[in-house]
Structure 1
Amino acid sequence: MHSVKPPAIHIDNLTLGYERHPAVHHLSVEIAPGALVAVVGPNGAGKSTLLKGLAGELRPIGGHIRLADAGRADVAYMPQRSEMDHSFPLSVFEMVAMGLWHEVGAFGRVGAAHARRIEAALTAVGLGGFEARAIGSLSGGQLQRARFARLILQDAPLILLDEPFAAIDARTVGDLVRLILDWHAQGRTVLTVVHDYDQVRRHFPHCLLLARELVAYGPTAEVLTAERLARARRLSEAFDDYAPECHVEEAAEARR
């Protein structure tokens, strides 16, 4: 008899927000180990907020997140590129080396074996020979490749990507999609915020459609229907950004 693996991510009645105003509310879903999931929805649907909650950067207002792996060190999270300070004086080598923080610590020494792994990661993303370049000199596509090299070094079982394909060239998008598919083939769990539904249909077997609340989760063809996309738009348009604080306990009690 085969044992059933626990979900990689278990979310129970989760509410996330800022200053207690909900950006995602009363979300319950389970993500299986090794799933490749596109997180989709209208602008302002709470997609980035959800990833921040899973990465431990945003504390829940209510509800729970349980990860199958040991802790947050097992999560590799890449926020949107707009959140980076590109002017910081770092070389590509130094930036990518940050992916080893869980092994060497914030101020640990990068030895020869680590340097070889950094060079291998850069080669894997098409940036071999870029080690000494300043990150501020990179194009948008090159910078995104370097960020993926850093993720390779983190070697995490759970990978969270927030809009990794935004504002980069088609060739880079193709190369990064292949890396994501490789991670999926290795059995890693990958959640990716994606805006292009054609990309989602081509490459992502599962889809989580969000509009501040869960609209649908499951096989992509079953989630990305005209009816469900229209419902997501209606929910997003109806949401009041100036609504009062979310009283999680009261809402949970009302559903009983």
Structure 2
Amino acid sequence: MSAIQIRNLTLGYDRHPAVHHLDGTIEQGDMLAVVGPNGAGKSTLLKGLAGAIAPLGGTVELPRLGRHDIAYLPQAAELDRSFPITVFELVAMGLWRRTGLFGGLSRADRQAVGDALAAVGLTGFERRAIGTLSGGQMQRMLFARLLVQDARVILLDEPFTAIDARTCADLLDLVRRWNAEQRTVVAVLHDMETVRQAFPRSLLLARRAIAWGHTADVLTPENMLAARRMTEAFDDHADICTEAA
């Protein structure tokens, strides 16, 4: 049963493509790693799947899901840590589709936020300003927000970058728990060892798909070399579908 169907998808900015003519299916319950060189279009793909950017061509189809069934965690650098908000308030923002932007929280909602913070090891941090958190604590908080969203599809952009080993292990355990619940997880990752150990399927992206399938079959030296060469071949300033010679 498919969760996301990608059909001839092209994504980019100001009509300059970052992902070209991608076709594939992400099945319900998949643990899919998206890997590739810098500039390969990995983050752009996640934004396209999340609906944060519109396709330049092709479609992203959700046969049995709506946009409310997708939770998206961008790179930590995209969050303004100076914004005056507490840990509790930021995690509670994961409930906005149910409560509305200005709706009050019920007792059950507050319990859900508390349970999510406990699940990521942040009990007692509720009143802390987000700007006081370490990198690992910040990522734990963002995972707690994902927990309260209770989404069927979870998109993670470099979720384990620049955090300590203990936090990485704890959050990876949470990802495995989501997978055991038949939630679909798509994660942009750079650590190939984590990909090999925890993600059964991978998409090797270099503006186009180099390989998509079982991780052991995707992450071969030949495929990795082809991805690097293809990324270097693209002209970032070209119009749609134009490659450098």
Aligned: 1:43 with 2:56: no
Of residues 153, 161, 169 in structure 2, which corresponds to 1:166?
161
Deviations 1:113-141 (A, max 9, x none): 11111110000000011101110000000
Aligned residue for 2:34, secondary structure, equals strand
Distance between the aligned counterparts of 2:237 and 2:67, measured in 1? 32
Aligned residue for 2:175, secondary structure, equals helix
Deviations 1:135-189 (A, max 9, x none): 0000000010000000000000000000001111010000010000000000000
Deviations 1:74-126 (A, max 9, x none): 10000000001000000000000001011101111012111111110000000
| Aligned CA-pair RMSD | 1.2
2:152·2:183 contact (CA, 8 Å) conserved in 1?
Answer: yes
2:3·2:65 contact (CA, 8 Å) conserved in 1?
Answer: no
Aligned pairs for 1:198-213 within 5 A: 198-213=193-208
Distance between the aligned counterparts of 1:88 and 1:247, measured in 2? 40
Aligned pairs for 1:1-256 within 5 A: 5=1, 7-243=2-238, 245-246=239-240
Distance between the aligned counterparts of 1:156 and 1:46, measured in 2? 24
Distance between the aligned counterparts of 1:135 and 1:74, measured in 2? 26
Aligned residue for 1:132, secondary structure, equals coil
Aligned residue for 1:8, secondary structure, equals strand
Aligned residues: 243
Q: What letter corresponds to residue 85 of structure 2 in structure 1?
A: L
2:6·2:59 contact (CA, 8 Å) conserved in 1?
Answer: yes
2:8·2:58 contact (CA, 8 Å) conserved in 1?
Answer: yes
Query: So what's the TM-score if we normalise by structure 2?
Result: 0.97
- Stretches of structure 2 that go unaligned for 5 or more consecutive residues are none
Distance between the aligned counterparts of 2:142 and 2:241, measured in 1? 38
Aligned residue for 2:45, secondary structure, equals helix
Q: How far off its partner does 1:71 sit?
A: 1.4
Q: How far off its partner does 1:70 sit?
A: 3.0
Q: What letter corresponds to residue 191 of structure 1 in structure 2?
A: V
Deviations 1:211-243 (A, max 9, x none): 000111101000000110110011011111122
Q: What letter corresponds to residue 164 of structure 1 in structure 2?
A: P
Q: How far off its partner does 1:247 sit?
A: 5.5
Q: How far off its partner does 1:69 sit?
A: 3.3
Identity %: 59
Q: What letter corresponds to residue 141 of structure 1 in structure 2?
A: G
Distance between the aligned counterparts of 2:30 and 2:117, measured in 1? 26
4+ residue runs of structure 1 moved beyond 4 angstroms?
Answer: none
